[in-house]
Amino acid sequence: MGKRILMVEDRSDDRYLMRWLLDGMDLEVREAADGDAALAACAEWSPDLVLLDFGLPDMDGLELMKRLRAAPGASDLPIIAVTARVLPEEREMALSSGCTAYVPKPVVPESFVAIVRSLIGSP
């Protein structure tokens, strides 16, 4: 199996779309519907990339990102903010707080796939 992606998204239709877009890329994808599940998955599984929705039911996405990066060996973990928070200042806040990339919802399939490929080193 290829690179590991942790998808942190509370909406099942958004998880379905992203999983469908990633299909065929030789990836192992795990899903977490909230921050606590994401922290547990990251601790036991060590993903190579995290797709992170900022609107989670149990914690703010920026807080979760900081907690994920604080895990041993995860300080440079690539994290893509995939969020409906699309105001320019929200994008800047996400990137300046440590997100590697920012993808607004609804995702544009070609852009989403290109960003994921660039961060996991897939052709």
Domain of 50: which CATH number?
A: 3.40.50.2300
pLDDT value, residue 88: 86
Find out whether the peptide bond into 106 is cis, omega within 30 degrees of 0: yes
Q: Which residues pair with 95 in a beta bridge?
A: none
DSSP 107: P
Q: Return the closest-CA partner of residue 120 out of 52, 47, 40.
A: 47
- The string of pLDDT tens digits covering residues 9-27 is 999 999 999 999 999 899 9
Q: How far is CA 27 from CA 23, 70, 109, 119, in A?
A: 8, 24, 17, 13
pLDDT digits (tens, 9 = 90+) for 41-81: 999 999 999 999 998 999 998 899 999 989 888 889 999 99
Give the pLDDT score at 68. Answer: 92
- Residue ranges making up the domain that contains 12: 3-120
pTM: 0.94
User: How many domains is the chain partitioned into structurally?
Assistant: 1
User: Is 55 in contact with 10 (CB distance < 8 Å)?
Assistant: yes
Calculate the CA dihedral of residues 50, 52, 56, 58 and round it to 10 degrees: 30
